[in-house]
Amino acid sequence: MKAMLLCAGYGTRLGDLTRDWPKPMLDVGGVPLLAYLLGHLRAQGIADVAINLHFRPEVIRDAFGDGSKWGLRLTYSPEAQLLGTAGGVKLLERYFRDGGEPFLVQYGDILTNQDFSDLFRVHRERGALVTVLVHHRAKSNSVVIRDEATGRIDGFLERPTEAARVGVASTWVNSGVCVCSPEVLDHIPAGRAADFPRDVFVKLAGTGRLYSVPLSGDRCAIDSPERLEQARDMVGGGAWPRLDGVISTGGPRA
């Protein structure tokens, strides 16, 4: 089983905290955020993990190496130009097609202890092309319209206008984690930036190949200094899976 952590962005919404430092390396409970993301994947039985890199890639490489210290096999994918959430996956097309198995994609700023086995189970049972983790939130930039009985996504609105929201009662939104069948790579354009919500999910909604699973665990999207503090509070009890012995980040701490 393989996964990809999307870690190439700049994290500009965190201001000075990420001006000179990659967001996945911000301190959360004494280790980088990425130590929790990788620790959770390992706890879920996922050992083969690809990580795309762009800003300060050496910081992440130096801290985690090839992952063998923790029983992981890490593959790094440098991007000279940012390719977006789907474009970064497309760049690793050969990696994900090898073996023909579904794979997981997680945004690199999403801290969660969600049981991913639910995503893989529903994905296989429904014969889905993509199965998206969703949660409730009003007035989000993405709106998921789903069949409550089957989880099938019948509509996906990305950055909708107020006019587009009229008559849409759903408060389901994209949680930043999804399971993909290799066939989805056929739906991602090559050689340019592309995003899953805008360029893939919107087009697949209503085809009967896009499904969803509601969030049942904890989740924090670290997109502000306040959310970073929330993440630190979440892991403060020490029960969250993490990688220990990671090289000290030396980065800024809010």
Q: Region 66-84: what's the mean pLDDT? A: 97
Specify the pLDDT at position 195: 96
Q: Is the pLDDT of residue 217 over 80?
A: yes
Specify the pLDDT at position 40: 98
Of 214, 254, 189, 243, nearest in space to 11 by CA: 254
Assigned token pair, 91: 């760049």
Question: Taking the complete model, does pTM exceed 0.85, yes or no?
Answer: yes
How far is the C-alpha of 247 from the C-alpha of 228, rounded, in Å?
20
Assigned token pair, 92: 């690793």
Of 84-88, 202-206, 236-240, the range with the lowest mean pLDDT is 236-240
Q: Is the pLDDT of residue 68 over 80?
A: yes
| Amino acid code (one letter) for 196 | F
Share of the chain above pLDDT 90, in %: 83
Average pLDDT, the chain: 93
Q: Region 166-172: what's the mean pLDDT? A: 78
Specify the pLDDT at position 251: 65
Specify the pLDDT at position 138: 77
Share of the chain above pLDDT 70, in %: 95
How far is the C-alpha of 48 from the C-alpha of 71, rounded, in Å?
9
Specify the pLDDT at position 164: 65
Give CA 115 to chain center in angstroms: 14
8 Å CB contact between 108 and 24:
yes
Q: Region 218-246: what's the mean pLDDT? A: 94
Q: Region 147-167: what's the mean pLDDT? A: 83
Q: Is the pLDDT of residue 252 over 90?
A: no
Specify the pLDDT at position 158: 84
Q: What is the pLDDT of residues 83-139, one digit of tens each?
A: 999 999 999 999 999 999 999 999 999 999 999 999 999 999 999 999 999 999 877
Q: Residue 45 carries which DSSP code? A: T
Cα–Cα distances in Å, from 226 out to 15, 150, 191? 12, 35, 36
Q: Is the pLDDT of residue 166 over 70?
A: no
Specify the pLDDT at position 145: 93
Structural domains for the chain: 2-234 (3.90.550.10)
Specify the pLDDT at position 253: 63
Q: Is the pLDDT of residue 254 over 80?
A: no
Q: Is the pLDDT of residue 247 over 80?
A: no
Torsion angles phi and psi, residue 82, rounded to 5: -60, 130
Q: Is the pLDDT of residue 199 over 70?
A: yes
Cα–Cα distances in Å, from 238 out to 220, 233, 244? 16, 10, 12
Q: Region 25-52: what's the mean pLDDT? A: 97
